[in-house]
Amino acid sequence: MTALQNMWFAFFGIFLMFVSVGLTMLSHKLPGFWRILILIISFICLTVAGLIVLIIVVRGPIAD
């Protein structure tokens, strides 16, 4: 992965975090089944974002 690809990958992780927060806020306005479904999707987004950030951090800086 190049440094530019690494940057876009990190931005995608940050975007997923924002999506997770937005879905969580939306779920508070929904009833029963939809609330649980949206919260599960939000949790999946947050988990994937966390894994992306972990991968970026563990790999460290990329020397080109």
Q: Answer yes or no: is 63 within a domain.
A: no
Q: Answer yes or no: is 39 within a domain.
A: yes
Q: Do residues 64 and 3 lie in contact, with contact meaning Cβ atoms separated by under 8 Å?
A: yes
Q: Answer yes or no: is 46 within a domain.
A: yes
Q: Answer yes or no: is 30 within a domain.
A: yes
Q: How far apart are CA 44 and CA 36, in angstroms?
A: 12
Q: How far apart are CA 19 and CA 63, in angstroms?
A: 31
CA nearest 54: which of 12, 11, 13, 4?
Answer: 13
Domain count, the chain: 1
Domain holding 22, by residue range, is: 3-58
Q: Answer yes or no: is 38 within a domain.
A: yes
Q: Answer yes or no: is 50 within a domain.
A: yes
- Give the pLDDT of the chain (64 residues) as one tens digit per residue: 788 888 999 999 999 999 999 999 999 999 999 999 999 999 999 999 999 999 998 988 876 6
pLDDT, residue 64, reads: 62
If you ran DSSP here, which 8-state letter would residue 29 be given? Answer: T
Q: Answer yes or no: is 64 within a domain.
A: no
The reported pTM is 0.84
